[in-house]
Structure 1
Amino acid sequence: MDFAALRKTSKVTTEWTYPQGQALRTGWLRVDTAPDHELYWEEYGNADGEPVMFLHGGPGGACAPVMSRFFDPARYRVILFDQRGCGQSRPTVAADGPEKALAHNTTDHLVADINALREALGITGKMHVFGGSWGSTLALVYAIRNPEKVASLILRGIFLGRQEDLLYMYQGNAATFETQPYALTEPGAYITYPEEWKAFVEVIAPEQRGDIMGAYKAIFDSRPSTDEGRERQLQAAVAWSVWEGTISNMIPAAADPGKFGEAAFALSFAQIEAHFFANDLFLKPDEITDGVGALKDVPVHIVHGRFDQVCPLTQASRLVQALNAAGTPPATYVRTDAGHSAMEGQTVLALTAIMDGLPRI
């Protein structure tokens, strides 16, 4: 029997409500000098509609036209943009090196970039802010600091970026993997994806596995001068990228990692993530959960996959707890039977329904 043929996918198939539209406008916006960071942006939907600022994940991911399909094109003016160092923004790690792409690349810079893009695109009133994974982190930080500019927050796959959250995804049982590869010595995503975890861990020498993120970061920080060294760095970046890309789906496409296996994407994605993670996302401890009182006039809508292994459901629970304690309970809290990816069927349906049901600005 061909069991592979019997595998179902959790990814979106026919769940989309709205067709893929064409971009109304595209462009680059210079937001910094030395280095000259330029953000690539695209606009979809109704040029006179309610503005939606879409914040992609990572840090280090990128936008794609399909991300505009969550929104009614007759109602919304949708802004997609690639954050510093990402996608088609310039410079990038892959094309220009980490010295340029990671310079002036912090959460504070990204928050300022959102305001710069607002101004450049003539958005003067409130806007909806829509973000998933790292995009949910950035959306929350932005809204806490700029509540007067936000009509509503629509968040998917909540990521709070605590050390325990990162250890769950990247450390797991790595320290004991050499002698007990399938022992459940620590909590972690490896429990659900053991073979994929093996490929991720074995890039690092056994004696360095007590700090997997640190070992990977050391490889990314090296400046290889030989083909062998460059290949080693690329191997590490792809392994890092494919690990996250694979476990983002409840039912992964094992034979096709997609963009996560592509060299240019992986080099930028992995190194930007490692850069932010090594610096605690450039946030103060508990900055988000301590700051949600600022959202008293901002409706917060949350969608989280029950089987999310990149950002386990407990992170959404922490956020809801903080919102309730601040007297600002979420307007919506939906737990889908899905994993982490925004492109899983139930999550697509939930996010689209929320956007369709929002009060008009």
Structure 2
Amino acid sequence: MDFSKLRTTSKVTEQWKYPLAVAHRTGRLQVDRDPDHTLYWEEYGNPRGEPVMVLHGGPGGTSAPYLARFFDPARYRVVLFDQRGCGKSEPSVAVAGPRLALTRNTTDDLVNDIEVLRDALGIKGKMHLFGGSWGSTLALVYAIRHPENVQTLIVRGIFLGSRADLLYMYQGNAAVFTQTPYALTEPGAYIHYPDEWREFVEVIPPEQRVDMIAAYKAIFDMTPANDAQKELQLRAAQAWSMWEGAISNLIPDNADRGKFANAEFALGLAQIEAHYFSNGLFLPPDYILNNAARIAAVAVHIVHGRFDQVCPLTQASQLVDALRAAGAQPESFVKTAAGHSAMESETVLALTAIMDGLPSMGS
């Protein structure tokens, strides 16, 4: 049989409208002391254009040049930055370790960092806020706290971060996996990615699988006393990271795990995510839904992959319902034939079209 015509990836290829560019400005900004958190930032596009602040995912992911490709470089002034503890920001979890890099690292701190960065870059008045996954969470929280600064919210792969959302991604059937690895005992992403799920579950001893997040966090919190413990910590971080990477795409590319298998990226992503997830994102329960009225006057555009297994579509639907209940109909709610990643073809097309179609801030 000839399977050569079957799709091997759902990632964007030639669909990009705008070319990959090099940042025309980069810098570092100290935003806190004890420890001295310093953010790495980059700027693309038109220095005098409409400001767009881009918030990457994770928490614990990184910014990357491709994130500037959603925006017309002649129209927009695009700001990318690495959030506390990750990427090129310092101290990073991967290099300095979690004890230092996760000190004073909460959602409140990240929201304040956006304010400090805005001021340092001379962004006055309103800006567009663009974020996906955890970046959507942070964008929404920032807009709730500072609606006067937000012209437009463009959010993808909505993540509300409830306990049920986390159980869907990380717990699934793990508690009974040893006895019945294919049992559909609970809802979860594992149903669609059984081979990748096995790799994630088997890092944790069977007796500890009743709470997978807690079990992983215990490994991440450990101060390794020997090479074996260092190897366990790295193996756990890579398993956590690669699980997220695999289920982020409608068609996972297991032959190339990319950045998710990279030791430094995995250590940062896994340890920061576990830190935030085990602390309820440092937010009251249902914080975003309960405060939707605060952004009733902000134009909101939502893009969500119909087959998203990191953040199922129900999370976007809950947000839309909360906005409507507050008297705020979203400007658009686009459901793409895609998974979670911003790099899925239909999602790239939808986000680019939204940015191209926004009313000018000067009009």
Normalised-by-shorter TM-score class: over 0.9
The 2-side partners of 1:94 and 1:60 are apart by: 10
Structure 1 unaligned residues grouped into runs of 5+: none
Amino acid at match of 1:283: L
Aligned residue for 2:271?
271
Amino acid at match of 2:185: T
The 2-side partners of 1:292 and 1:211 are apart by: 31
1:335-350 aligned at under 5 Å gives the runs 335-350=335-350
* 3-state DSSP of counterpart to 1:35: coil
The 1-side partners of 2:329 and 2:141 are apart by: 17
Amino acid at match of 2:255: A
1:249-288 aligned at under 5 Å gives the runs 249-288=249-288
Shift of 1:20: 1.1
The 1-side partners of 2:178 and 2:225 are apart by: 30
Aligned residue for 1:144?
144
Shift of 1:298: 0.5
Shift of 1:327: 0.3
The 2-side partners of 1:43 and 1:210 are apart by: 44
Shift of 1:7: 3.5
Structure 1-normalised TM-score? Answer: 0.99
The 1-side partners of 2:252 and 2:331 are apart by: 31
Amino acid at match of 1:148: E
The 2-side partners of 1:35 and 1:239 are apart by: 29
The 2-side partners of 1:249 and 1:128 are apart by: 26
Aligned residue for 2:57?
57
1:17-42 Cα shifts (integer Å, max 9, x gaps): 10112211001100011111000000
The 2-side partners of 1:351 and 1:132 are apart by: 11
Task: Answer with 50-59 or 86-95: which moved more.
Answer: 86-95
Aligned residue for 2:360?
360
* 3-state DSSP of counterpart to 2:118: helix
Shift of 1:253: 0.4
Aligned residue for 1:47?
47
Aligned residue for 1:243?
243
The 1-side partners of 2:344 and 2:109 are apart by: 31
Aligned residue for 1:232?
232
- Report the aligned-residue RMSD: 0.9
* 3-state DSSP of counterpart to 1:140: helix
* 3-state DSSP of counterpart to 2:211: helix
1:151-201 Cα shifts (integer Å, max 9, x gaps): 000000000000000000000000010000001011000000000000000
Aligned residue for 1:87?
87
Aligned residue for 1:302?
302
Aligned residue for 2:325?
325
The 1-side partners of 2:8 and 2:358 are apart by: 32
Name the count of aligned residue pairs.
361
Shift of 1:6: 3.5
The 2-side partners of 1:5 and 1:259 are apart by: 27
Structure 2 unaligned residues grouped into runs of 5+: none
Structure 2-normalised TM-score? Answer: 0.98
Amino acid at match of 1:160: L
Shift of 1:357: 0.5
Amino acid at match of 2:304: H
Aligned residue for 1:72?
72
Matched, 1:8 2:8: yes
Shift of 1:5: 7.2
Amino acid at match of 1:130: F
The 2-side partners of 1:164 and 1:83 are apart by: 25
**Mapped contact 2:55–2:131 kept (Cα < 8 A):** yes
* 3-state DSSP of counterpart to 2:264: helix
The 2-side partners of 1:311 and 1:304 are apart by: 9
> Does the C-alpha gap of structure 1 residues 101 and 209 become closer, same or farther in structure 2, counting only changes over 3 Å?
same
Amino acid at match of 2:91: P
**Structure 1: which 4+ aligned runs deviate by more than 2 Å?**
1-8
Aligned residue for 1:210?
210
The 2-side partners of 1:27 and 1:290 are apart by: 36
1:306-357 Cα shifts (integer Å, max 9, x gaps): 0000000000000001001000111100000000000000000000000000
Percent of pairs with identical residues:
69
* 3-state DSSP of counterpart to 1:210: coil
* 3-state DSSP of counterpart to 2:112: helix
1:195-217 Cα shifts (integer Å, max 9, x gaps): 00000000000000000010000
> Does the C-alpha gap of structure 1 residues 46 and 292 become closer, same or farther in structure 2, counting only changes over 3 Å?
same
* 3-state DSSP of counterpart to 1:48: coil
Aligned residue for 1:107?
107
Amino acid at match of 2:200: F
1:113-133 Cα shifts (integer Å, max 9, x gaps): 000000000001100000000
The 2-side partners of 1:19 and 1:101 are apart by: 34
* 3-state DSSP of counterpart to 1:276: helix
Task: Answer with 284-293 or 48-57: which moved more.
Answer: 284-293
